[in-house]
Amino acid sequence: MKIAFIGLGIMGKPMAKNLLKAGHELRVYDRNTATLEEMKAAGATVCGSSSETVEGVDLVLTMLPNSPHVKSVMLEDDKLADKMPKTAAFIDMSSINPVASREIAAELEKRGIQMLDAPVSGGQPKAIDGTLSFMVGGKQELFDKFKPVLEAMGSSVVLCGDVGAGNVTKLCNQTIVAVNIAALAEAMQMGQMCGVEPQKIFEAIRGGLAGSTVMNAKAPMMMDQNFQPGFRIDLHIKDLNNVVDAAKAVDAPIPLTQMVLEMMKILHHDGDGSCDHSALLKYYQKLTGEVLHH
């Protein structure tokens, strides 16, 4: 399949490489020349502009930071929706506000273009090994047609409902991950301060009810004081702000989410926004003056 891929960042670049490995023809553009050289070496066709990437394609994929970026690329500045073939479809893999997903889909529908929103979970490691989880919103027929493309980048691809449902589900995911990481950091810090080695706590708990994918991924990082992203605090703040907006629209109570969001904002103001979200541990270390160890 001939695909335009927009957004070759920490997640997008390895996802694009997995599409190439699966045999798809990829057209890419990026302001970072080093990234373009890397993608060219991987087999992608490097274009001179974002507009050029959508020429003659079957599918346009975006993996961008937030709602304004997707709107800018598709409808406002680059206006790719007016330049892509009317026979092509659009899949936005960015994690954005579901309201924005529905607005973009409505504008594309006026142009005769169908859209799926398909945000992902798994962070950079799963983007690299092609085992991301896709949460998809859109029509069943369109989902069935392009599911194999998403399966080239992920091990789980689930249709959650109509357009916007993917991003609603992603917001639920980000809430659970954020609260889970905060609870893990809080418990590990308390356990160490009570005289038990964090590694023993981890080994004892991981196989029980409290065990989780989050624990397996983040507890070793916390004990190693390794806060290289992964998934940055600042990006998680963006997602939780979208949770707050979505919850406000339907009057849903989210006290735990709001508490963790405030913790992350404090870390951002302390200069830790570019750290992995496992750096929520730093919130507790700053309060206690004690560093978690193995």
**What's the rounded Cα separation, in Å, for the pair 194 and 217?**
24
Angle at the Cα of 281 from the Cα atoms of 278 and 284, rounded to 5 degrees: 160
Handedness of CA 176, 179, 182, 186 (dihedral sign): negative
DSSP state of 268: I
Coarse DSSP helix, strand, coil percentages of the chain, rounded to the nearest 5 percent: 55, 15, 30
The CA dihedral of 247, 250, 252, 254, to the nearest 10 degrees, is 10
Whether 79 contacts 106, CB under 8 Å: no
Task: Please name the residue that has the structure tokens 């689930």.
Answer: 158
The residue to which tokens 């070496």 are assigned: 41
Q: Is 200 a catalytic residue?
A: no
Measured from the Cβ of residue 17, the count of other Cβ atoms closer than 10 Å reads 22
- Residue 178 amino acid letter: A
Pick the catalytic residue from 13, 17, 126, 170.
170
Tokens representing residue 165 in the block: 């449902």
Please state whether beta strands 89-92 and 120-121 pair in parallel, antiparallel, or not at all (unpaired).
unpaired
Q: Nearest Cα to 137, choosing from 154, 115, 156, 155?
A: 115
Reduced to 3 states (helix: H, G, I; strand: E, B; else coil), residue 196 is coil
Residues contacting 200, CB < 8 A, separation 6+: none
Enzyme catalytic residues: 170
